[in-house]
Amino acid sequence: MAKRGISILKDIEASTVIDLLNRAYCDEWLAYYQYFIEAKVIKGLMKDAVIAELTLHAADELRHATLISTRIIQLGGTPILHPGDWLKHSNCGYDAPENPDVRSILDQAIKGEQCAITTYSNILDIIRTKDIVTYDLVSQILADEVEHEEDLQSLFDDLKEFMEQFKL
Ligand SMILES: [Fe+2]
Ligand SMILES: [Fe+2]
How does pLDDT run across 128-152, given as a tens digit for each residue?
999 999 999 999 999 999 999 999 9
The domain tally of the chain equals 1
CA of 151 to the centre of ligand 2 (A): 10
In a domain, 56, yes or no: yes
Q: Domain containing 122 — which CATH number?
A: 1.20.1260.10
Query: Which ligand number lies closest to the CA of residue 27?
Result: 1
What pLDDT sits at residue 38?
A: 98
The environment of the single-atom ion ligand 1, i.e. residues with CB closer than 5 A, is 28, 61, 64
In a domain, 31, yes or no: yes
Query: Which ligand number lies closest to the CA of residue 56?
Result: 2
In a domain, 82, yes or no: yes
Alpha carbon distances (Å) from 113 to 118, 143, 146: 9, 11, 7
Angle at 116 between CA 125 and CA 150, to 5 degrees: 110
In a domain, 96, yes or no: yes
In a domain, 116, yes or no: yes
In a domain, 151, yes or no: yes
What pLDDT sits at residue 115?
A: 98
How does pLDDT run across 39-95, given as a tens digit for each residue?
999 999 999 999 999 999 999 999 999 999 999 999 999 999 999 999 999 999 999
* Res. 1: pLDDT tops 70: no
In a domain, 3, yes or no: no
- CA 31 – CA 93 distance, rounded (Å): 9
In a domain, 58, yes or no: yes
Structural domain including 70 reads: 11-165
CA of 164 to the centre of ligand 1 (A): 32
Query: Which ligand number lies closest to the CA of residue 64?
Result: 1
CA of 99 to the centre of ligand 1 (A): 23
